[in-house]
Structure 1
Amino acid sequence: MHIILEQQVSLASALSALNKLKEAIQEITPARVLLLTDEELKACYFSRQKTAYVRYLAEAILNGQINLTAFENQPDDEIRTSLIKLKGIGNWTVDVYLMFVLHRTDIFPIGDLAAVQAMKKVKQLPAGVTRDEILMITEQWQPYRTVATMLLWHDYLSRRKG
């Protein structure tokens, strides 16, 4: 749910919504989230779209379509296939889930603008570099693409502060 909130917004904004949700329901569970009305979720800074996405996820967990515990022992591609079926969950969301929740060490989130921008800067890549060219560069970092991504994010954030 937190990762859905982070889609296309600042991390601070997503955290603010998550904290507001925690205030409203104490413990965040699929069942408790589904008890909230659209207005209550809006009061927790959820957009209409994110409200729908969070509801789809909560329902998929409760009806057994998604088993988060089983993901711990599944290969990345199987997890991706399961999650991508849910409305509101795309490759970036799956990548971040694999990295931060399942602690997978070989993920490069090609859809993450900060990681891609930092790579272009660090590697001094031309403006017209393609997605495929970026992915070819990241292949050299296997099996530690997640670690490389963390370093790129650090670089990106450091440049923004400076």
Structure 2
Amino acid sequence: MIDVVKTMNKKISDLQYALKSLSNMDGDIKTTLENYGNPPDRTLPANFGSLARIIVGQQVSRSAATSIWKRLLDIDIEDSKIISEVKPEDMMTAGLSRRKSEYIIGIANEIVSGNLDLKSLNTLHGEEVKERLISLRGVGAWTADNYRLFVLGDMDAWPANDIALQGGMKIIKSLDDRPNREDMESLGENWRPYRGAGALLLWHVYGVVVKKADVSNI
């Protein structure tokens, strides 16, 4: 438990440093931080449950993903051994699609068989982590980048295809249209190696401005 707390505190410290560095690189970031403050801590533990939770959130609203996740907790979704033995239908009763159910069960089997060690990802470079995760069925760039950012604290992870992220960029850069993935890749180049910190701030802004969310609920 002490190691988990130390890891989370380090990630928060890394985020604060990255945001400060980013604000020195981009005046729009500085203004955004002054207007909206720092994004809240959304760190996730490095385990199967976190990867499963990110997969649940693929292409659905955050509120829908949260509702499904709460129901999945009833079947011990965070325990890879248990999930490796369930059927897709068991997970579908919680509102999860068959395909996502199969993805998560497949990853649980990879962990139980010893083919996947999520803790070892901490020893890899960001792009190596992404490559390893994408090799898993059901994991694409968005899922891999979110795992890098929220679980591993990779301050340069950049889920450029995320709609909320694009919406946040439109706001802070006062753009006429929401940027697409290619635009985001181009805009993000100026934020290296702190794109992940920028992503967290963009989600924060989008939540406050578009979703009208209270900061504590973002």
- Common fold: TM-score over 0.5: yes
Would the alpha carbon gap of residues 106 and 138 (structure 1) be closer, same or farther in structure 2, given more than 3 Å must change?
same
Larger mean CA deviation between 121-130 and 3-12 belongs to: 121-130
Alpha-carbon contact 1:66-1:82 (below 8 Å) kept: no
Q: CA RMSD in A?
A: 1.9
Out of 51, 59, 65, which is 1:8 matched to? 59
Question: Normalising by the residue count of structure 1, what TM-score does the alignment of the two structures yield?
Answer: 0.89
The residue type equivalent to 2:74 in the other structure is E
Would the alpha carbon gap of residues 40 and 130 (structure 1) be closer, same or farther in structure 2, given more than 3 Å must change?
closer
Out of 96, 119, 128, which is 2:169 matched to? 119
Larger mean CA deviation between 13-22 and 145-154 belongs to: 13-22
The residue type equivalent to 1:28 in the other structure is E
Structure 1 residues 10-49: aligned runs within 5 Å: 10-25=61-76, 28-49=78-99
Alignment size in residue pairs: 161
Would the alpha carbon gap of residues 61 and 127 (structure 1) be closer, same or farther in structure 2, given more than 3 Å must change?
same
Q: Residue 46 of structure 1: SS of its match in structure 2?
A: coil
Would the alpha carbon gap of residues 161 and 19 (structure 1) be closer, same or farther in structure 2, given more than 3 Å must change?
closer
Identity of aligned residues (%): 32
How far has the Cα of 1:114 moved from its partner? Answer: 0.7
* Partner Cα separation in structure 2 for residue 139 and residue 90 of structure 1: 21
Alpha-carbon contact 2:55-2:104 (below 8 Å) kept: yes
Runs of 5+ consecutive residues of structure 2 not aligned to the other structure = 1-51, 213-218
Question: Normalising by the residue count of structure 2, what TM-score does the alignment of the two structures yield?
Answer: 0.68
Q: Which residue of 1 aligns with 2:125?
A: 75
What does the per-residue CA deviation read over 1:54-103, in whole Å, with 9 as the maximum and x for residues that have no partner? Answer: 01211121222221011011111111111111121000000100001111
Runs of 5+ consecutive residues of structure 1 not aligned to the other structure = none
Q: Which residue of 2 aligns with 1:98?
A: 148
Alpha-carbon contact 2:89-2:98 (below 8 Å) kept: no
Out of 110, 118, 138, which is 1:60 matched to? 110
Would the alpha carbon gap of residues 61 and 3 (structure 1) be closer, same or farther in structure 2, given more than 3 Å must change?
same
Alpha-carbon contact 2:80-2:112 (below 8 Å) kept: yes
Alpha-carbon contact 1:115-1:156 (below 8 Å) kept: yes
Q: Say whether 1:107 aligns with 2:160.
A: no
Which gives a bigger RCO, structure 1 or 2 (Cα 8 Å, sep 6+)? Answer: 2
How far has the Cα of 1:122 moved from its partner? Answer: 2.1
How far has the Cα of 1:7 moved from its partner? Answer: 0.3
How far has the Cα of 1:128 moved from its partner? Answer: 8.2
Q: Residue 136 of structure 1: SS of its match in structure 2?
A: helix
